[in-house]
Amino acid sequence: MTKEDEFAHRLITALDSSVRDMDAATLQRLGALRRQAVASQHSLTHGHQILSLLQRHSLVSVLLALFILISGYWFVQSGQPAYSPETDILLLTGDLPPNAYADKTFSKWLDARSPF
Amino acid sequence: MARRTFPVLISLYFLAHAGFTHADSAPTWMQLSIPERTALTPIAYDWDQLPTDQRLKLLKVVKEFAKLTPTQQQIFYARLKPWTQMTPAQRDAARDNFKKLQELPKSEQSQIKRLWSQTAGSDPANPGGGQ
Amino acid sequence: MRHPRPRPHVNSYIYTAFTHTCTVASSQEIDAFLAGVERRAFKQALLTIQDHHSALDVVQNAMLKLVERYHDKPAEELAPLFQRILQNTIHDHFRRSKVRDFWVRLVSPLRDKDDENTETLESLAAHAESTHQPNPEKEASANQHLAAIEQALAELPQRQREAFLLRYWEELDVAETAKAMGCSEGSVKTHCFRANNALAAKLKDRGISL
């Protein structure tokens, strides 16, 4: 280990102690957030259960699939303007970065100023 | 019944494929051309994980990349990754607001841009306003 | 090793291709991983964002994104993946708050140029709702060395702090750190080198030797 590494490791040891001594309220909150996140995984895997349910009721599945496909096709064809990259190029190379434009305060201000 | 529905579902699936104007897949990083990869370098590692429609839109954007000046290309590079990390709703809001800003009087537009460069955007190492 | 985690001996992509169906991380493995990393993640966020409530938000978002995007990855890939998500989430937050401050100052009729701590209505409401009123981190740490170290880390440029913490605290190797930060391996080494020097100089200035 180099001298830099040794210095860094001593510094990290101090950081570790700060993490050990973290206040109880924060630790509790972190644990709650973690349990929430892990629980959200179950809703992801439940999607597969719905699929096997559909496989068992095959006539309903076929009709449902037909309905979804036909109405989806109609929806896509019927009114979505084709994507134009010109605006995006201007956003990505202009004076303000895109995330500045996305800000909600800015949106509200622009709406208030609109003559319509 | 079950024996016959499976081929029916499969043929419906391919029918839908033919019907939808967008294919269900976009090129992976390995399938991109060299000019495309040059334009998309900042998101090389993220490309394969991006949603299909986002990749297809970006491929249309990068067609313009070669026409940009070197300075503009650097700004593009700085902004590309943050752009892909915005939600679709945020990107749409950015597009809307960008268009609305163009409709404001020119003097206001330049004032806003000047104020931005003096305050929040004033990091010279950060032309994209991102990381 | 301070934060033990299983490491594959071959390139992780090849490893995944051969073993994907057998080694998807279980709920318990994800929970165990997050339990091991959550405090450091919170600390990392706090050092950049300097706000307790927002740092918790960032950790929450990072955890949710990890589960959403990578719950089907093997357990040994979780650490570098989580770090990449965490760095991106910290950046997003930091950028958004800078942007918000700009627009609020611009559109507010009572623009106060000297007020560095302008808060939006939303963040004020959020603070009022929060039942937890923590002490400022600096007051809470009794240890003077620790306060100086945290201060020195917080003063580092963002990229240097990231590289330093990912290499030394999260114990990612250079390649993993480069992926998490979205830069080259050479940049990682440069950032680390500069961070080390800056930290040593700052602590020396304060008369602290480790």
Chain C nearest CA to B4, separation (Å): 30
Distance CA A18, CA B73 (A): 43
Q: Point out which residues pair with C74 in neighbouring strands.
A: C24
Residues of C with CB under 8 A from a CB of B: 69, 88, 91-92, 95, 98-99, 101-102, 105-106, 158-159, 179, 182
| pLDDT(B123) > 60 | no
What percent of chain B has pLDDT above 90?
Answer: 52
The structural domains of chain B, with segments of one domain joined by +, span 2-85, 99-131
Looking at the fold, whether C142 and C101 belong to one and the same domain comes out as no
Question: What are the residues of chain A with a beta carbon less than 8 Å away from any beta carbon of chain B?
Answer: 58-59, 61-62, 65-66, 69, 72-73, 76-77, 83, 85-102, 104, 106-107, 110, 113-114
What is the rounded distance in angstroms from the CA atom of residue C86 to the CA atom of residue C91? 9
Tell which of A92, A103, A105, A116 to mutate to test the B interface (max B CBs under 10 Å).
A92
pLDDT reading at B125 higher than 60: no
Q: How far is C100 from chain A (nearest CA, A)?
A: 7
CA–CA–CA angle A21, C173, C48 (5° rounding): 45
Please check whether residue C81 lies inside any domain of the structure: yes
For position C129, what pLDDT does the model report?
Answer: 43
Residue C191 lies in a domain: yes
Model confidence pLDDT, tens digit, residues B36-65: 999 999 999 899 999 999 999 999 999 999
More confident residue, C77 or A43: C77
Question: Does one domain contain both C34 and C129?
Answer: yes
> Rounded to 5 degrees, what are φ and ψ at B93?
-60, -40
Which domain, by its residues, includes C174? 136-210
Structure tokens, B90: 């945020």
Residue C10 counted as domain residue: no
From chain A, the residues in CB contact with C104 under 8 A are: 105
**Confidence band for A93, pLDDT divided at 50, 70 and 90:** very high
Counts for chain B of helices (H) and strands (E), in that order: 6, 0
Q: Which two tokens stand for residue C29?
A: 């493995």
Mean pLDDT over each residue of chain B, to the nearest integer: 81
Q: Give the domain-ending residue among C77, C103, C134.
A: C134
B99, pLDDT greater than 70: yes
Shared-domain flag, residues C30 and C130? yes
Distances (CA, A) of A44 to A47, B48, C22, C69: 6, 21, 19, 10
Q: Is the dihedral of CA A45, A46, A47, A50 positive or negative?
A: positive
**Given pLDDT bands bounded at 50, 70 and 90, which one contains residue B12?**
low
Residue B5 has pLDDT above 90, yes or no: no
CB B36 within 8 A of CB B64: no
- Contact of C33 with chain A, judged by CB distance below 8 Å, is answered with no
Q: Closest Cα partner for C158 from C74, C98, C205?
A: C98
CA angle C114, C116, C120 (to 5 degrees): 115
Nearest to A7 among C43, C167, C200 (CB): C200
Task: Enumerate the residues of chain A whose CB falls inside 8 A of the CB of residue B64.
Answer: 85-86, 89
Counted domains in chain C: 2
Give the residue with greater pLDDT, B80 vs C142.
Answer: B80
Please check whether residue C53 is in contact with residue A27, taking contact to mean a CB–CB distance below 8 angstroms: no
- Predicted local confidence at residue A112, as pLDDT: 81
**Range list of H helices, C21-170:** 27-49, 52-70, 78-107, 121-129, 137-140, 144-155, 158-164
C67 and C96 both lie in a single domain = yes
**Whole-number Å distance between alpha carbons of B11 and A108:** 48
Q: d(Cα C119, Cα C111) in Å, to the nearest integer? A: 12
Q: What pLDDT was estimated at residue A69?
A: 82
- The residue that leads in pLDDT, B79 or C209, is B79
Total residues belonging to chain C: 210
Q: What ipTM, to 2 d.p.?
A: 0.74
Who wins on pLDDT, C115 or B7? Answer: B7
Please report which confidence band the pLDDT of residue B126 belongs to, taking 50, 70 and 90 as the band edges. Answer: very low
| pLDDT for residue C116 | 43
* Domain membership flag for residue C12: no
How confident is the model over B22-33, as pLDDT tens digits? 557 899 999 999
User: What local confidence, expressed as pLDDT, does residue C176 receive?
Assistant: 94
Asked if residue C81 and residue C67 are part of one domain, the reply reads yes
Please list the ranges in chain C whose pLDDT falls under 70. 1-2, 5-22, 109-142
Asked if residue C154 and residue C129 are part of one domain, the reply reads: no
Distances (CA, A) of C142 to A27, B40, B97, C55, C137: 18, 48, 48, 21, 10
CATH of the domain at C163: 1.10.10.10
User: Comparing A11-15, A104-108, B73-77, C95-99, which segment has the lowest mean pLDDT?
Assistant: C95-99
Residues paired with C24 in a beta bridge: C74
Tell me the DSSP string of B15-61: HHHHHSSS-S----GGGS-HHHHHHTGGGTTTGGGS-HHHHHHHHHH
pLDDT value, residue C55: 94
Judge if pTM exceeds 0.95. Answer: no
Q: Determine the pLDDT at residue B33.
A: 94
